[in-house]
Amino acid sequence: MENKTMEDLFRSYWWLLFPMAWFVTGAVSSFLNYRRQKETLSLLRTYAEKGQEPPEALLKVLDRPIDADTEFFGDAKSRRAGRGEGAWFSVVLFGLMAAGFGYASFTDMYGAGDAFLIVTFVLAALSAACLVSAVMNRGRRRDGE
């Protein structure tokens, strides 16, 4: 009986695995950033005890906020450089997915046409939002930003 209850519990709340994974990922990222800052301060203390000037690169590590997502998601400079290409990829990806779900809605695949229609609208909205982002970033890059 207990096994059945656990199975029912998992079937009802399986989607909670995703937010829990997000929280765990954030906690690990924060811990890694904390360790990076702590080790950097330790190195700076060593330089100060020897009376030497620390390298600029070491000082720049302390400029980043301790809650930056650099360990898992790359640094901000590399994200800014590739932002436009990712937006265009997302436009195509979400657009094609919206077309596929639109077809599934039109043909009433699996008898779930209304559900597929809702998914189509959501994916089309995401595609449109990514299109606006890609166009705006393209204009900013031309202006020299």
In the predicted model, what is the mean pLDDT of residues 45-69?
Answer: 80
Percent of the chain with pLDDT over 90: 25
Handedness of CA 111, 117, 118, 119 (dihedral sign): positive
Q: What does pLDDT average to over the chain? A: 80
pLDDT digits (tens, 9 = 90+) for 108-120: 988 888 889 999 9
pLDDT at 71 over 50: no
41/45 Cα distance (integer angstroms):
6
Residue with more model confidence, 139 or 32: 32
Tally of CB atoms within 10 A around 89: 13
> Is residue 51 helix, strand or coil?
coil
Above 90 in pLDDT, residue 124?
yes
- Percentage of residues in the chain having pLDDT higher than 70: 79
Considering only CA atoms, which of 31, 40, 98 is closest in space to residue 69? 31
Q: What pLDDT, on a 0 to 100 scale, did the predictor assign at position 84?
A: 54
